[in-house]
Homo-oligomer: A and B are copies of this chain.
C-alpha cells in the first residue's frame, strides 16, 4: 500500500443551521476542501452521516451529495458507525487511495441534528446503543455515559469538580475558533454550577449537538510533497452494550486501534504533539487518554488537573474546542477532528496553534466505545 496525504480540508461553522439544508452543508464543506486542494474532479466520494434518515428524511447521501457537488457519475457511498461514522469514512477513503484504485478521494461528514424536536433527536442518537438490551429499558445515551462516569469516580476516588479541566480547556480553545458552536470561555465556578443532565453528568460534561459538515481531500503522498501525511490508521470495535464489557472503565477498542496506529507510525504516545480526542462526555476524554497510553488507569482526570492537556502542556487536547465546545454534529465530528489536526500540522491554527506541532492523533468514537477509529497525521 502507498502512503496517503491530505491535500485539502474544508469545514462549515458548527451552528443551528435552520436555514441551510443537509445537502447544502455537505456541499459547502466539500467545495472548500476541493478549493483548498486545487482539485476539481475526484474519483470517489465517501459520505459519513448518522441520522439523516430519521431527522431529515433523506438517505442515499452518496449520489445526492456527489451530484450537488458537481461530481455526477463518480463512485459514492455513505458510511455509518454512530458517532464514529466520520472516522470510519476517512478509514475507507484512505484504503481506496492506498490501494492504488483511486487517485483523488473526497470525504465529507455532514449532520443536521436541530431539524426536529429534542426528544426525536435524543431517540435517534440512542440507536447507537443496543436497542434490545439497553434502549428498550429506557436508558438514553447520556445515561449510559453517566453510569460509566459514576463508576469511574467511585473506583478512582475523584469528585465531580475534578473533571472541570476538560470543559475549561475545550471552551478556552473554542473561544478563538470561529467555526466553534460555543465561542466563550468558562471558569471553575461556571462548571460547578452546571445543571444536571444525567447525574453525575452536568451541562459542562456533555457535548452539544449541532449542525455542520467537514471534508478532506486525499491523494497519494507521492503526488503531494509537503502535504500532511496519514502515517497511522486503524479501527476496532467492542460490544455495543456497555454491560457486556469485562471492564466498563477500559476502552478496549481505543487500546486496539491506537496500538495498531502507533505500530504503523513507528511512534508511541510520547511522540504525539496534540490529540483530538472524542470528548462527547468528559468521562470519554479521560478513558481515551488512558487507553491510548497517555496516562495509567484512573490517571486521565489527573492529566487535566496537572495542566497537561492545555496548549503548551504535555498532551494538548481539544485544541480547537473539541466536541465539548466546537460542537458535536455526530456524523461529521470525526472529520472536524481531522481537519483541525491538519490545520495544526500546517501551522494554520492561528491563535490556537500548538507550537512546533509535527505529529497529531485523532480518535473518533461511536457509541460508548463500540467503534473507535484512530488516525495519526504527520507533517
Q: Is A140's CB within 8 Å of the partner chain B?
A: no
Q: What residues of chain B lie closer than 8 Å to A240, measured between beta carbons?
A: 60, 63-64, 67
Tell me the bound Cα distance from A74 to B253 in angstroms: 9
Whether B131 contacts A57 by the Cβ 8 Å rule is: yes
Interface residues of A (CB under 8 A from B): 1, 21, 23, 50-51, 53-54, 56-60, 62-64, 66-67, 72-82, 88, 91-92, 95-96, 98-101, 124, 127-132, 135, 234-240, 244, 252-253, 256, 366-367, 370-371
- A-B contact list, 12 entries, CB within 8 Å: A58-B127, A59-B127, A60-B81, A60-B129, A60-B240, A60-B367, A62-B88, A63-B81, A67-B237, A73-B256, A77-B92, A78-B81
Taking A80-B78, A81-B78, A99-B99 as contacts, is the C-beta distance between A63 and B135 under 8 angstroms? no
Shortest distance from the beta carbon of A368 to any chain B beta carbon, whole Å: 10
Q: Which residue of B lies closest to A136 (CB)?
A: B57
Within 8 Å CB of A64, what residues of B?
130, 240, 370
A59 near B79 (CB under 8 angstroms)?
A: no
Contact B127 A235 (CB under 8 A): no
A54 & B56 in contact (Cβ 8 Å cutoff): no
Q: Are B56 and A53 in contact (CB under 8 A)?
A: no
Q: Which of B72, B78, B370 contacts A63 (CB 8 A)?
A: B370
Contact yes or no, B127 A237, CB < 8 A: no
Query: Judging by beta carbons under 8 Å apart, are A73 and B1 in contact?
Result: no
Complex Cα distance A236/B75, Å? 4
Which residue of B is nearest A51, CB measured? Answer: B53
Complex contacts, A51 vs chain B, CB 8 Å: 53
Bound complex: CA of A56 vs CA of B58, how far in Å? 17
Given contacts A59-B80, A60-B127, A60-B128, 10 further A-B contacts (CB under 8 A): A57-B127, A62-B237, A62-B371, A63-B238, A76-B81, A77-B92, A77-B235, A92-B92, A92-B95, A95-B99
Residues of B within 8 A of A50 (CB): 59
Determine if A74 and B131 form an interchain contact, defined as CB atoms under 8 angstroms apart.
Answer: no
Asked if A82 and B95 sit within 8 Å, CB to CB, the answer is no
Least CB distance from A230 to B in Å reads 13
Instruction: Find A82's partner among B59, B72, B98 (CB 8 Å cutoff).
Output: B59
Q: Which residue of B lies closest to A44 (CB)?
A: B235
Does A127 lie within 8 Å of B75, measured CB to CB? no
In contact, A77 and B371 (Cβ under 8 angstroms): yes
Report B-chain residues with C-beta under 8 Å of the C-beta of A92.
77, 92, 95
Give the nearest-CB partner of A59 in chain B: B127
Q: How far is the CB of A202 from chain B (nearest CB, A)?
A: 26
Give Cα A355–Cα B62 distance, bound, in whole angstroms.
38
CB distance from A284 to the nearest CB of B (A): 16
Contact between A59 and B128, CB atoms less than 8 A apart: yes
B67, B124, B237, B371: which contacts A53 (Cβ < 8 A)? B124
Complex Cα gap A58–B128 (Å): 7
Scoring A59, A64, A81, A366 by chain B CB atoms within 10 A of each residue's CB, the highest score goes to: A59
In the complex, chain B residues whose CB is within 8 Å of the CB of A91: 75, 77
What is the bound-complex CA distance between A53 and B55, given in angstroms? 11
Best-surrounded residue of A21, A130, A371 (most CB of chain B within 10 A): A371
Measured between alpha carbons, how far is A370 from B234 in the docked complex, in Å? 31
List the B side residues contacting A135 at CB < 8 Å: 57
Q: How far is the CA of A124 from the CA of B52 in the complex (A)?
A: 12
Known: A21-B132, A77-B88, A95-B99. A239 touches B72 (CB 8 A): yes
